[in-house]
Chains A and B, each alone.
Chain A
Amino acid sequence: MEKPHFSGFAKKFLKKHVSHHELAPDDSHGMLLYVEGVTKSFDGFKAINDLNLYIQEGELRCIIGPNGAGKSTMMDIITGKTKPDAGSAWFGQNINLLELDEPSIAQAGIGRKFQKPTVFENMTVDENLELAMSGPKTVWTTFKGGFTSEQIDMRDHVLELIGLKALRNKNGQVLSHGQKQWLELGMLLMQKPRLLLVDEPVTGMTRQEMDKTAELLLSLEGSHTIIVVEHDMDFVRSIARKVTVLHQGHVLAEGSMDQVQSNPEVVEVYLGTSQC
């Protein structure tokens, strides 16, 4: 093993602790996310087993799979919550995700929407969005406070996009379930992420709310790279260009919705385990 060079160490330290928010993924090859040979086991159970996933810049990718297929663990690994036992995960060609902690990964441009919406209930819609606002997020800058006019514009723009303008001064707790999901998506957008990880965005939504969410996600396609994890097949069909099927921590099939659905292995996994 190579001896760590001091200046190299200092650079790495600075990169990690000081200038992390200036890190930007290098996507000159058109790929934004590389996940290669990742394995993660919990108490002997392989939640992720030699997983390979490549996401192109500007792509909208849907990931489906039965319960326990490793979808959430995969998200945890990409966002730094869990460290894998083996494999590598790179954001662009220059950012090694396995070296960074959650806040640094978020600052580098990966945003995550959780399965269960966790908006801040005691804060207004506006305040929720402001909290997620991109920009330096240090103790001192937040203490000094204040927003630039661009930031205010951006907040208003996102507010428009998620359709919660009328509720901007209401507390998070008065929002309906669907509205919370949209607010959470809005907060994600406020972070100006390059890559959005969206975990089950339509759980518990009505038909109309689902359509609206599909519309919202499709409008982001191209300007953002999006990974959607979802159970609802109708919803996936309505937005998917390319679908990845996970099964037992491994990629079972990849392709368009029709290709995937006619794949005999996928049919077996789905018909054998659930009614989806």
Chain B
Amino acid sequence: MLELLKRDKKGCSVLGVIWFFVLLMILGNTFFEDGNLFYVGANSITLVGKYLCYALLAVSLDLIWGYLGILSLGHAAFFGLGGYVMGMYLMRQIGTRGVYGDPLLPDFMIFLNWDSLPWYWLGVNHFWFAALLIVLVPGILAFIFGYFAFKSRVSGVYLSIITQALTFALALAFYRNEMGFGGNNGLTDFKDILGFSLSSDSTRLTLLFLSALFLTIGYFICRKIVSSRLGKVATAIRDAEMRTRFMGYHVVWFKLAIFTVAAMLAGIAGALYVPQVGIINPSEFNPICSIELVIWVAVGGRASLYGAIVGAILINYAKTLFTGLFPEGWLYALGLIFILVTIFFPKGIIGVLEAIDLKKFQKSQETLTASVENQVVENTTALASSMLEKSKE
């Protein structure tokens, strides 16, 4: 493990900066009063907590896109599923404090005239069980979906399109009231988690801390995978799948294992996200969310893992600023950023930072291989076709 840290200086420094700010925020909230220059308010805490969840999600996408070549345009679905499980747990914690005061049924079920809890809501009031489901539900879905997709050798743009179909199907399903997940409105009005009030600053700080912790753990799990021989096999599959098969690797299982791990990490990110923002609804399954996610990773820099963290945080910070000033323009701005980055900095922000050193710059120009360029073309086509579909709707 120590060896791993030593070889990953950049990743460690990115995480170091994050921890520095997280600790600063914790201190700022604990030791200073409102009005003081160093005081950190609840809004900033949840905002940063949210960014960190996005960062974990982006790392998990980079694992499968950057290292395995699977451009999933539906990866946020696993984030949504993890979020929904956490939402169900939080719903059950409301108890009699809901509008209708039913000790068992959440408000929306009373509203639908349901008289008992559906079977799939049973047990989620126990935190340990919910925690288990947070990784199992996305993991099992990814496994089943991946098994059929990889077994029938769907890859490239076609795989991207069916991942998008997956998230779209989930969105449609969750919008229905009969599904029993609150339909359009989703799950909200949460009160407390493990007995701690969600509106108290100390709970928020704890969630922020946990987000940073799970980001770190998730990052190192991914780092461990990509720097092992397994990671080499993954890159081999990315660069020449057929060739890897002829070397005796059963590609399906390799893809499946990594895809499932990535889905589980996304689920954890979603579960940490929901208590901080206080709501989960089907809009998280909208294909556009997954596409934005891909853009974070592309902008940050693919196949580096820490690039995904940088991209997720910077783009979301920009989004926060931009939507405050000029709300309608955000998607245009995002599209513009994506186009400019893929044309001028195919290796993303991380690539630019590395290129500041001139020597490294020349090297990076050399290593800008055809495979990266092809991938960019492929990805842009996939994005364009999905956007086209969007516009038809």
Interfacial residues, chain A to chain B (CB-CB below 8 A): 21, 79, 81, 101-104, 106-107, 111-112, 114, 118, 120-123, 127, 130-132, 134, 137-139, 142-146, 171, 173, 187, 191
Interface residues of B in 237-276 (CB under 8 A from A): 239-240, 242-243, 245-251, 253-254, 257
Asked whether A120 lies within 8 Å of B236 as measured between CB atoms, the reply is yes
Check B230–A142 contact: CB distance below 8 A: yes
Q: Would you call B371 an interface residue if the criterion is a C-beta within 8 Å of the partner chain's C-beta atoms?
A: yes
Q: How far is the CA of A92 from the CA of B375 in the complex (A)?
A: 42
Min CB–CB distance B14 → chain A (angstroms): 22
Contacts of A123 in B (CB 8 A): 232, 235-236
Which A residues are CB-close (under 8 A) to B240? Answer: 118, 120
* Given contacts A120-B235, A121-B369, A138-B253, A102 and B228 within 8 Å (CB-CB): no
With a CB–CB cut-off of 8 A, which chain A residues contact B254?
Answer: 139, 142
A121 touches which of B225, B247, B249, B371 (Cβ 8 Å): B371
Which of B230, B245, B247 has a CB less than 8 Å from the CB of A143? B230
Contact with B228, one of A21, A118, A142 (Cβ below 8 angstroms): A142
**Nearest 8 interchain pairs by C-beta:** A106-B248, A142-B229, A143-B230, A142-B230, A102-B245, A107-B248, A145-B229, A139-B257
Known A142-B230, A145-B228; 13 more pairs at CB < 8 Å: A103-B246, A103-B247, A104-B248, A107-B248, A121-B369, A122-B239, A122-B371, A131-B232, A131-B236, A139-B254, A142-B233, A171-B367, A173-B367
B229 A130 Cβ-Cβ under 8 A: yes
What chain B residues lie within 8 Å of A191 (beta carbons)? 247-248
Contacts of B248 in A (CB 8 A): 21, 103-104, 106-107, 134, 137, 191
- When distances are taken between beta carbons in the complex, the residues of chain B under 8 Å from A103 are 245-251
Q: Using a CB–CB distance below 8 Å, which chain B residues touch chain A?
A: 225, 228-230, 232-233, 235-236, 239-240, 242-243, 245-251, 253-254, 257, 367, 369, 371
Bound complex: CA A37 to CA B349 (Å)? 58
Q: Using Cβ atoms and an 8 Å threshold, which residues of chain B touch A132?
A: 247
Query: Is there contact, CB below 8 Å, between B369 and A173?
Result: yes
Most buried by B among A104, A120, A123, A187: A120
A137 touches B235 (CB 8 A): no
CA distance A112 to B242 in the complex (A): 11
B246: A residues at CB distance < 8 A: 79, 102-103, 106, 111-112, 114
B134 to chain A, nearest CB (A): 23
Give the residues in chain B near A127, CB-CB below 8 Å. Answer: 232
Q: A118 vs B254: C-alpha distance in the bound complex, in angstroms?
A: 20
Bound complex: CA A118 to CA B243 (Å): 7
- Listed residue (A127, A134, A143) with the most chain B CB atoms within 10 angstroms of its CB: A143
A139, B253: Cβ atoms closer than 8 Å:
yes
Chain A residue at minimal CB-CB distance from B243: A118
Give the most central of B228, B239, B240, B250: most A CB within 10 Å.
Answer: B250
Which residue on A lies nearest to B257, using beta carbons? A139
The residue in chain A whose Cβ has the minimal distance to the Cβ of B366 is: A173
B-chain residues with CB within 8 Å of residue A111 when the two chains form the complex: 246
Question: Quick one: given A103-B248, A106-B247, A138-B253, are A122 and B235 in contact (CB under 8 Å)?
Answer: yes
Chain B residues lying within 8 Å of A120, measured Cβ to Cβ, are 235-236, 239-240, 243
Chain A nearest CB: distance from B65 CB in Å? 16
Q: Which residue of A lies closest to B255 (CB)?
A: A139
CB closest residue in chain A, given B253: A139
Is A145 a contact of B230 with CB atoms below 8 Å? yes
Looking at the assembled complex, report how far the CB atom of B249 sits from the nearest CB atom of chain A, in whole angstroms: 5
Chain B residues with Cβ under 8 A from A142's Cβ?
Answer: 228-230, 232-233, 254
B299 → chain A closest CB, angstroms = 22
Using CB atoms, name the residue of chain A closest to B256.
A139
Chain B nearest CB from A181 CB (Å) reads 14
Residues of B within 8 A of A144 (CB): 228
- What are 30 residue pairs bridging A and B, where the CB atoms are less than 8 Å apart in the complex? A81-B242, A101-B250, A103-B246, A103-B248, A103-B251, A104-B250, A106-B246, A106-B248, A112-B246, A114-B243, A120-B239, A121-B369, A121-B371, A122-B239, A122-B367, A123-B232, A131-B233, A134-B248, A137-B233, A137-B247, A138-B250, A139-B253, A139-B257, A142-B228, A143-B229, A145-B229, A146-B229, A173-B367, A173-B369, A191-B248
Residue of A nearest to B247 (CB): A132
B255 CB to closest chain A CB, in angstroms?
Answer: 10
Q: Give every chain A residue within 8 A of B228 (Cβ-Cβ).
A: 142-145
- Could you say which residues of chain A place their CB within 8 Å of the CB of B250? 101, 103-104, 137-138
- Expressed in whole angstroms, the minimum distance between the Cβ of A259 and any Cβ of chain B is 33
Complex CA distance for A107 and B248, rounded to whole angstroms: 5
Please give me the residue from chain B that is nearest to A147 by CB atom.
B229
Q: Which of B242, B247, B367, B369 contacts A131 (CB 8 A)?
A: B247
Instruction: Give the residue name and chain of the B residue nearest to A197 (CB).
Output: B246
B249 and chain A: residue at smallest CB distance: A137
A191 CA to B249 CA, complexed, in Å: 11
Q: How far is the CA of A81 from the CA of B245 in the complex (A)?
A: 10
Chain B contacts for A134, CB-based, 8 A: 248
B235: chain A residues within 8 A (beta carbon): 120, 122-123
> Smallest CB-CB separation from A121: which chain B residue?
B369
- Chain A residue numbers with a CB within 8 Å of B245 are 101-103, 106
A21 to B233: give the CA distance in the assembly, Å: 18
